[in-house]
Copies of this chain bind each other. A is one copy, B any other.
Amino acid sequence: MEELKQKIINEGQVIGTEILKVDCFLNHQLDVAFLDRVAKEFYERYKSQRIDKILTVEVSGIAIAVLTAMYFGVPVLFAKKLQSKTLNEEMYEAQVHSFTKKIDYNIRVAKKFLNEEDHVLIIDDFLAKGQAALGLAEICDQAGATVEGIGIVIEKDFQEGGSILRDSGYRVDSLARIVEMNEEEIIFGEE
């Protein structure tokens, strides 16, 4: 998605060769008019599939998931990262390792909201080592739901998440794939 690549170049900030900060439009401040065009792009790519539910994980995936769900006319389900006092039903659960924060955490979805009849589009803001997406896909497997695809805003193609997911047979649509980056330039690959 050309507009996304330009936005990353113009507004993103690369730290070292692995960290890309896009908190001006995707992770802290949300440029909703722009994110709505990102959501429309996901809709264009998946509109011929049956999509019953958009699945994401808190926090940064929620905005994109909500805007995408508006196009499909379906609900969003966001996996929670921490057990909260008021969430105590039977849950689907998967373990996720955060390489950024160097911790393992569990993501959970209430069983009542996902079942074997659901065709799911997984949405997330970033794909790096693929841990969050794999956790969400595992939750769909536990529910017997069908994963129609995984829509990612920015893929760090120099990390292994995309390969792992594609090799596992998942359709992955990343709207910008970064092959290499440093503080001088960002090189994009084929979408």
Contacting residue for A63 out of B73, B76, B85, CB 8 A: B76
Knowing A23-B110, A36-B70, A62-B59 are in contact, say whether A86-B15 is a contact too (CB < 8 A).
yes
Contacting residue for A28 out of B28, B70, B110, CB 8 A: B110
Q: Are B29 and A75 in contact (CB under 8 A)?
A: yes
Q: Are B28 and A75 in contact (CB under 8 A)?
A: no
Q: Are B110 and A66 in contact (CB under 8 A)?
A: no
Q: Does A21 contact B (CB under 8 A)?
A: yes
Question: How big is chain A's contact interface, by range?
Answer: 35 or more
Looking at the assembled complex, report how far the CB atom of A150 sits from the nearest CB atom of chain B, in whole angstroms.
19
Q: Does A78 contact B (CB under 8 A)?
A: yes
User: Measured between alpha carbons, how far is A84 from B100 in the docked complex, in Å?
Assistant: 9
What is the oligomeric copy number?
2
Q: Are A32 and B80 in contact (CB under 8 A)?
A: no
Looking at the assembled complex, report how far the CB atom of A74 sits from the nearest CB atom of chain B, in whole angstroms.
8
Q: Does A58 contact B (CB under 8 A)?
A: yes
User: Measured between alpha carbons, how far is A24 from B86 in the docked complex, in Å?
Assistant: 12
CB<8 Å pairs between A and B, sample of 29? A19-B86, A21-B86, A21-B87, A23-B87, A23-B110, A24-B113, A27-B86, A28-B109, A28-B113, A29-B76, A29-B110, A30-B66, A30-B76, A30-B78, A31-B75, A32-B69, A32-B70, A32-B76, A33-B70, A33-B73, A35-B66, A58-B58, A59-B59, A59-B78, A63-B66, A63-B76, A66-B67, A67-B70, A84-B100
